[in-house]
Structure 1
Amino acid sequence: MSISQAIAPHLAYLRRFARALAGTQAAGDAYVAATLEVLIEDPSLFDTKLDPRVALFRTFAGLWNSVGVNLKPDMQTSPATPVDRKLESITPLPRQAFLLSAVEGFSVPDIASILGLDKGGVMELIDQAGREIAAQVATDVLVIEDEPMIAMDLEGIVEGLGHKVMAVARTHAEAVKAIAHGKPGLVLADIQLADGSSGLDAVNEMLGSFQVPVIFITAYPDRLLTGERPEPAFLITKPYQPDTVKAIVSQALFFERRARLRDRPSAA
């Protein structure tokens, strides 16, 4: 089996992971493209003794964590991710380990292989990421979800992190009505809602008037991770684990705060 055949089933999920790390679709996809270029130039970097998924993520992690790597200007598809801000976007190892575990479902030995660490080091990184999440500043969260049990579960997870659920909306109309009473600091949105309306459409309408980090939740991630249209930076697959939600909430707010600090006017 060729390398291209071996990695093809895993590319969509590498894009998901890369976007969660980089904070935007454009930056994450650029790193995935760079990874594929590296493999084309030097196939020996793909360790055929490993599971193909582990080997692919290991190659990506080696590129991501390399201080000397620079993206080519023509790989940048958004002015929000210029080359000279590459290092500013790099996420520390604890978040990488936590996302690999909670979102991508890798085992501790696999994460150790991907990051080039021992198993004890991986567990320490995951624990550190958990402490970072617990220390996050609270924000108001809008949940757009039509299934009552899932909505309650999400509400419990979010509030357990110290955040406040300002409203739970079951339809596009309820979501739009909810923001009339205040703007959320984070949105968790299902794609397909009870009345046939779209959580994606509701979010796009919100983003037309104000900016807010958004996490999409869907039972059909393959329908969104096609690479053929604009795709979300933060995506959770149903059924999910609580740690998955915690990891992605943490990452979305991490980048939102970095953007806010970066855009804050400097003191005169």
Structure 2
Amino acid sequence: MSLGQQLAPHLPFLRRYARALTGSQAQGDKYVRATLEAIVAAPDQFPRDVDPRLGLYRMFQGIWNSANYDETEGRAEPGEGNEAVARARLARMTPLSRQALLLTAMEGFTPEDAAYLIEVDTTEVESLVAEALAEIEKQTRARVLIIEDEPIIAMDIETIVRDLGHEVTGVAVTRDEAVALAMEDRPGLVLADIQLADDSSGIDAVKDILAEFNVPVIFITAFPERLLTGERPEPTFLITKPFQRSTVKAAISQALFFDQSTVPAEAA
């Protein structure tokens, strides 16, 4: 099996990680493309002594670290909008902590694998994750609309949201109900399942909401690869079903991290 064939199944999930890390489909996909170009240009540099997925993410981390080093040295164009907001927050938080959180909680890597990817000792990973959660949760509070038709899952998500210190504005089970709740009490974050109770679409509900006002959205789906092809406008933040509580926490924190409405006054 060629290297390309080995890496293909992992690309949708690398896109998910890249988008969550950057807060942007366009920026995340740009880093993924750069990673693939680097592999094609120098296939002998690809780590062959580890699992292909681990090697792919390691190559991505090299691209990411190089790009962010250039920004630190002042060689990148200044960011605007969400990226500028993120930079203001990054001034008060170690970037490695965010990467450790996303790699373990969202991408499912072990602490050992995460340590390999971000090039730290395994013992450091837990403290980095704890640092990321503490800092992000301290900076961001929001009012959250949950769009989910399975009662047990909705209840679980609601508990996670409240445990993070956020307020739940409502739980909708259909497209129409979701839009009505959003218009009645505008949320600062939306968590949306894809398939809803009356065979309506959570994607359509979100489109209707976004037509009225901007709000960060996290989609929940059992088939994330279907929404992560890189070929059309797609969600920036995705949670895969079945999910772990830590995954939901990481996704919420990261989505709010890039939301301009949650910037503390001193960071604006």
Q: TM-score, normalised by structure 2?
A: 0.88
Are 2:202 and 1:199 equivalent residues in the alignment? yes
Unaligned 5+ runs, structure 2: none
Report what 2:35 is aligned to.
Answer: 35
Could you tell me which runs of 5 or more consecutive residues in structure 1 were left unpaired when the two chains were aligned: 71-81
For residues 196 and 135 of structure 1, what CA distance do their matches in structure 2 show?
38
1:77 corresponding residue in structure 2: none
Q: Which has the higher contact order (CA 8 A, sep 6+)?
A: 2
SS at structure 1 position matched to 2:139 = coil
For 1:27, the aligned partner's letter is Q
Alignment of 1:1-268 (within 5 A): 1-66=1-66, 67-68=68-69, 83-85=77-79, 88=84, 92-257=95-260
User: Aligned residues: percent identity?
Assistant: 54
Aligned counterparts of 1:194 and 1:175: Cα–Cα separation in 2: 12
Tell me, yes or no, if the aligned pair for 2:39 and 2:45 is still in contact at 8 Å: yes
Deviation at residue 202 of structure 1 after TM alignment: 0.7
The Cα of 1:27 is off from its aligned counterpart by 0.6
Does structure 2 conserve the Cα–Cα contact (< 8 Å) formed by 1:167 and 1:178? yes
Q: CA deviation at 1:226?
A: 2.5
> For the Cα contact (< 8 Å) 2:19–2:27, is it kept in 1?
yes
SS of aligned partner of 2:203: helix
Letter in 2 for 1:244: T
Aligned twin of 1:79: none
CA distance in 2, matches of 1:197, 1:83: 42
CA offsets per residue over residues 176-220 of structure 1, 9 Å max, x none?
Answer: 110222210000000110001111001111111110000000112
Q: Deviations over 1:149-184 (max 9, x none)?
A: 111000000000000000000000101110222210
The CA deviation at 1:117 is: 1.1
**Cα separation, 2, equivalents of 1:141 and 1:167:** 8
Q: Aligned-residue CA RMSD in angstroms?
A: 2.3
Could you say if the C-alpha distance between residues 130 and 117 of structure 1 is closer, same or farther in structure 2, counting changes exceeding 3 Å? same
TM-score, length of structure 1 as denominator length: 0.88
Q: How far apart, CA to CA, are the structure 2 residues paired with 1:152 and 1:83?
A: 44
With 248-257 and 82-91 compared, the bigger mean Cα shift is at 82-91
- Give the SS at the match of 1:65: helix
